[in-house]
Structure 1
Amino acid sequence: MTGVVRTVQGDLDPGQLGVVDAHDHLFFRSPLLAGQELDDVELARRELEAYAAVGGGTVVQWTPYGLGRRAGELPALAAATGVRIVAATGMHQSAHYARELLAARADDLAEVFVRELSEGIGDSGVRAGLIKVAGGFHSLDAHARWTMRAAAEAHRATGAPIAVHHELGTGALDVLDLLCGELEVPAHRVILGHLNRSPDFVAQREAARSGAYLAFDGPSRANHATDWRMPDAMAELAAAGFADRLLLGGDTTTAGARSVSGGPGMPHLLRRVRPRLEATLGKDAVDRLLVDNPAGAFAVEWH
C-alpha cells in the first residue's frame, strides 16, 4: 500500500506536513452564518502567516462543495505563507444549501466527489484531498445517508479519507455503523469530527476502538465550552491506549473568530491549547497528535 497527502500544491509524503491543524477553514460561506462569511483572501493570508509564526505547518480545510471554498486561491496562499493546505470535497448538512443545488446533484453526487479528488475542483485544477460529510444531532437523516453513501463510493474509487461533522459531537457510533459496517469503509480511513463537544468518554472510547480517528476541534468556539474538557478527554483516551487515534483542529468558521480579527483563530491551537495538553499528556504525546497522527489520517491510500 502506498500513501501520500494530497495538498493544493500537489501530492506530498505524509512526513512533510509538520504540525497540522487537522480541521479548519480559510473560506466558508453558508446561509446559516449570513454576514459572518470567511471570504477575504488577504485576511486568510494573514491568518496563515500568524499560524506559521507559532510553528504551524499544514492546515486541512474541511469546507466542502458549494460553501465558498475558493479553491483557486489556495495554491497562492500556500506558496505565499509556506503553510501546506489540504482542500475538501464532500457535502455538509442540507440546511447549508439551497434546494435547487441539492436537486441538481441528486443523481451524480459520488461522481462530483471523485472528479474533485482526481481531476480538480471546478476549473481551478486544485484536487481535493479528503471527503467531508455530516450527520445530525444524535441521528442520520436521509440527506446524511445519501452523502455518506456517495462518500464511501468516492473513497473506494480514490482512496481518500472521509471526515465527518458530528452535530454537537453526537452520533459517532451511528456514523461508524453506516460507513464502516454497512458501507465497508475501513475505520482507519474515517475521521470523526467535533467529539470534544460531547464529553461522553464511553462513546469516545468505543469510537476509538473501531480504529477511526477522533478529531478534537473547535477550541474556544464562543458557542461550545470545549477547552476545559479537552485535556481530560484526551488523557482518558490515551490511558486506554488510543493516543494514536487523536487529532487536533481549530474549526474557524466565522470572520470574527480569526486571530487577525480579534478571535482565537488558528494560532490559538499552538499558543494556548498545545501547552495545556502537554501539561496533561506530555510533550511526546502532543507532538504525536499534531504531527504523526495527521500524517496517517490524511494520507490518500491505494493498493
Structure 2
Amino acid sequence: MTIEATIPTATGEVPVSALGRTLMHEHIFVTSPEVQQNWPDYPEQWDEDAQIAEAVQRLTALKAEGFDTLVDLTVIGLGRYVPRVVRVAEQSDVNIVVATGAYVLSELPVYFHYRGPGTPAGGPDRLAEFFVRDITEGITGTGVRAALLKCVTDEAGLTKDVDRVLRSVAHAHRETGAPITTHTHSGLRRGLDQQKVFKEEGVDLTRVVIGHSGDTDDYGYLAGLADEGSYLGMDRFGLNTVPFEKRVEIVAEMCRRGYAERMVLSHDTSCFSDMSDPVRRRELNPQWRWTHIPQDVVPALLSRGVSQQDIDTMLVDNPRRIFTVQGGY
C-alpha cells in the first residue's frame, strides 16, 4: 500500500496532491521587529488586527481566482512570526506553507558571529540546528513545521556569512529532505554561485528552486541552471524592475525551449512590507498583487502561444513534484 506524501501548512498537514494551483514565492508580512518594538509610531504604522484582516481579504480574492496554496518565504531577517501567520491561515481557505532559513544579504545577526563553525567560540552549526528543529518539531511553539528552506545570494555575492548560511541550509536539507528555494541577483548570475556551493555540500540540485530567475533574459544562464536540474523561480510578476511584457516573454521563450517542467510562477509580493515605503511601492508597482498571475499573466502567456498544459505544469505539477520528493540522504 502506497502512503501519499503530505506537506505541513500553517493549519496542519495536507496531501501534496491537494496543493492545487500554487504560488511558490510570496510573503504574508515582511516586518522589522526591532524597529517596531523601539519606535512603534514609525511611519509604516503597523496595526496587527487591520493587517491580518487585509491579508485574509487578499487570500479570499486569490482563492476566487482558483488558487489553493501560497508559499510564505518570510524567514529570519524578514520578520518571520508564525503565530501571526496562523491567525491569517485559520480565517482563509488557502493553504499557507511556511519556510525556515535566513535572509542574509551580507552579514548574519551578531548572535551568530560568536557561535558555530569558523567563529571565535566555535561549536556546532547552530544555524542548521535551528533550521532542522523548525522542520522536524515546529516553529515558535506553534507546532507548525516549516516545509522548505530559504537562503540568499545577492549583490554582495558569497561573503563569509552568506556562504555559511548556504552551507547550513544544505546541511539541514540533507538531514531532513526539505526542498531549498533561494533569492538571487540574476543580473550577476548568483544562481551559479548557489549551485556551486550546494554541489560541494552534496545537494541534489533537482531539489532546489533558484529564485528571481525571471529578472534576466540571459537565456544561456537560465538554461544552464535548469540543465543542472534546478527549478527556475519566475517569481516577481508585478514588480516593475523588469517590464511586464519582458517578464512574460522570458517565461514564454523558456517554454518554447522546452523548460516548462523546470519553472514555477509567483509574485514575491506581500500584504504588508516595511522594507520600503508602502505608498510609493504601490504607486510604482500597481499590479504587484497575488491576483496578477491569474488575471494578467496567464492570459498574456496564452496569447504568446504557451499552452494551458505548460501553464498547469508550472502552477500545479511542478510545485507538487517539488514537495513530493521527501526524505534526507
In the superposition, the TM-score normalised over structure 1's length comes to 0.88
| Aligned residues of 1:196 and 1:226 also touching (Cα < 8 A) | no
| Correspondence for 1:264 | 288
CA contact (8 A) 2:26 2:269 kept: yes
Q: Which runs of 5+ in 2 are unaligned?
A: 36-41, 117-124
Q: Which amino acid aligns with 2:317?
A: D
Structure 2 partner of 1:217: 235
What's the secondary structure of 1:165's corresponding residue?
strand
Give the superposition deviation at 1:108. 0.4
Q: Structure 1 residue 235 and structure 2 residue 235: aligned? A: no
Q: Label 1:244 to 1:236 Cα distance change in 2 as closer, same or farther (>3 A).
A: same
Residue 36 (structure 1) shift? 5.4
How many residue pairs were aligned?
Answer: 299
> Residues 29 and 274 from structure 1, CA distance in 2 versus in 1: closer, same or farther, beyond 3 angstroms?
same
> Which position in structure 2 is the counterpart of 1:92?
103
Cα drift, residue 14 of structure 1 = 1.7
Query: Is 1:173 aligned with 2:192?
Result: yes
Percent of aligned pairs with the same amino acid: 31
- Which residue does the alignment assign to 1:277? 301
The superposition leaves residues 8-39 of structure 1 with CA deviations (integer Å, 9 ceiling, x where unpaired) of 2233222101111111000112489x855986
- Report the residue type matching 2:110 in the other structure: E
Counterpart CA distance in 2 for 1:197 and 1:83 is 27
Q: Which residue of 2 aligns with 1:25?
A: 27
**Alignment correspondent of 1:41:** 52
Q: Which has the larger radius of gyration?
A: 2
Take 1:35 and 1:105, find their aligned partners in 2: how far apart are those partners? 35
Equivalent-residue separation in structure 2 for 1:176 and 1:2 (angstroms)? 30
1:71 corresponds in structure 2 to: 82
Q: Which residue of 2 aligns with 1:129?
A: 147
Q: Indicate if the aligned counterparts of 1:29 and 1:37 stay in contact, CA closer than 8 A.
A: no
Amino acid at match of 2:81: R
Q: Matched residue of 1:52: which SS?
A: helix
Moved more, 212-221 or 166-175: 166-175
How far did residue 54 of structure 1 move?
Answer: 1.4
Structure 1 residue runs without a partner (length 5+): none
Change (3 A) 1:241 1:198: same
C-alpha distance in 1 between matches for 2:193 and 2:186: 14
Q: So what's the TM-score if we normalise by structure 2? A: 0.82
Please list the CA deviations of residues 24-58 of structure 1 after superposition, one character each: whole Å capped at 9, or x if unmatched: 000112489x8559862222111111211211210
Map Cα deviations across residues 234-290 of structure 1 (whole Å, 9 max, x no partner).
23322332211110011114544689x965311112111111112221211111111
Question: For 1:301, what is the secondary structure of its paired residue?
Answer: coil
Residues of 1 paired with 2:296 and 2:211: CA distance? 20
- Give the residue type in structure 2 aligned to 1:236: E
In the alignment, which residue of structure 1 is the partner of 2:119? none
Tell me which amino acid in the other structure corresponds to 1:100: V
> Is the 8 Å Cα contact of residues 136 and 144 (structure 1) preserved in structure 2?
no
**CA distance in structure 2 between the aligned counterparts of 1:212 and 1:3, rounded to whole angstroms:** 21
Instruction: Give the aligned partner of residue 286 of structure 1.
Output: 311
Structure 1 residues 235, 183: closer, same or farther in 2, change over 3 A? same
Tell me: CA distance 1:200–1:157, structure 2 relative to 1, closer, same or farther (3 Å).
Answer: same
- Is contact 2:238–2:286 with CA below 8 Å preserved after alignment? no
2:126 counterpart of 1:108? yes
